[in-house]
A and B are shown apart, each in its own frame.
Chain A
Amino acid sequence: MIPGSIKRAGRVLALGLSLGLALLLGWAMFDLPPAEIRLPEQVAARLAETGVSHPVTAVLLDFRSYDTLLEVGVLLLAVIGVLATRAEVRDGVEPAPEPVLLALARVTVPLMVVVAGYLLWAGAHRPGGAFQAGAVLAASGVLLRLAGRLPAWATPGFTMRLGLAVGLLIFLIVAAGVMVGGVTLLDYPSDLAGGLILLIEAGLAVSIGLTLAGLFLSAPAPGANREDAS
């Protein structure tokens, strides 16, 4: 590592500074006083009101559901941005699907859909939930795309666009709907909370799955760039 150029010297300097900062932060960690606020106890004390028994789901979809609502909005905006800025894709050369990959996809994709359903259901009382279920759904979409069973997204039709938005729509409808009962936004009534959370999560799983898969599926076909460049 001889700093032959200024660029390299700059890199070494940046590395040194980052390492120094990391050490400093690590050292500061040992000096931290114990936290004043005991969030786990506070969550546990009011878990019964949320209709779910898993504290992470209770925080994500009840105590801090406003954050999750905005997060889902950000995801929707991101996929709209990807679809809007995507270059016009000419038909690329679709490579012939690998037979092994195709066979693997045939076996695993149905299993992945079942796993996604399980994760969604399990979210109420153990680790799981909409994000994990959506990610597994998206992974099955990517696998189908790689195996050549799904075409790249051209322009998403009405159903696909509805699917992308359905999570946020259901979330907004429930969030605003409870206000009819005279309570504030997102303050679900305790006896309905479990069902409402499951409803929101089901919509979210579909939307998150489509959004994450869409990031991959809206990429041009593998041969498309070759034609553009040559």
Chain B
Amino acid sequence: MTELLFDALLAIALVWTALRALLVPELFRSVMLFIAFGLLLALAWARLDAPDLALAEAAIGAGLTGALLLDAVGHLHRIEDARRKQENPEGRERRGEPS
């Protein structure tokens, strides 16, 4: 019973984080949700008795891809900031950027 409940919650959380990752407007939150999705997916693989896939998913899917996406978001924000400053030198500051 407990296992079934856990699996059902895991399945719902997977679909929910995947949907949110696609639908949130801010890229940074999208990447965070993608990483959370990757970790939940690793859990799902572990529940399906596929520890090899769980290891690979956690390390490559969530870890490395997450780091690459975060790096890309950081670069995008900086380009955007620089463009804004150029167009509107006294313009308002953007919110803090992730690094």
Interface residues of A (CB under 8 A from B): 56, 95, 119, 127-129, 131-132, 135-136, 138-139, 142, 146, 212, 215-216, 219-220, 222, 225-226, 229-230
User: What are 22 A-B pairs at a CB distance below 8 A?
Assistant: A95-B99, A119-B55, A127-B52, A127-B55, A128-B52, A132-B59, A135-B59, A135-B63, A138-B59, A138-B64, A139-B64, A142-B64, A142-B67, A212-B60, A215-B68, A216-B68, A216-B71, A222-B75, A222-B78, A225-B82, A229-B86, A230-B85
Smallest Cβ distance from A120 to chain B, in angstroms?
12
Q: Are A225 and B78 in contact (CB under 8 A)?
A: yes
Indicate if the CB atoms of B52 and A56 lie closer than 8 Å: yes
Interface of B (DSSP majority class):
helix
Of A119, A222, A229, which one neighbours B82 at CB under 8 angstroms? A229
Number of interface residues of B (CB under 8 A): 21
Chain A residue, CB-CB nearest to B74:
A222
A219 lies within 8 A of B52 (CB):
no
B83 contacts partner chain A, Cβ-Cβ < 8 Å:
yes
Q: Which of B7-60 contact A (CB under 8 A)?
A: 51-52, 55-56, 59-60
CB pair A226 B78 closer than 8 Å: yes
Known: A128-B55, A129-B52. A225 touches B79 (CB 8 A): yes
A144 CB, nearest partner CB in chain B, Å: 12
With a cutoff of 8 Å between Cβ atoms, the chain B residues found around residue A226 in the complex are 78, 81-82
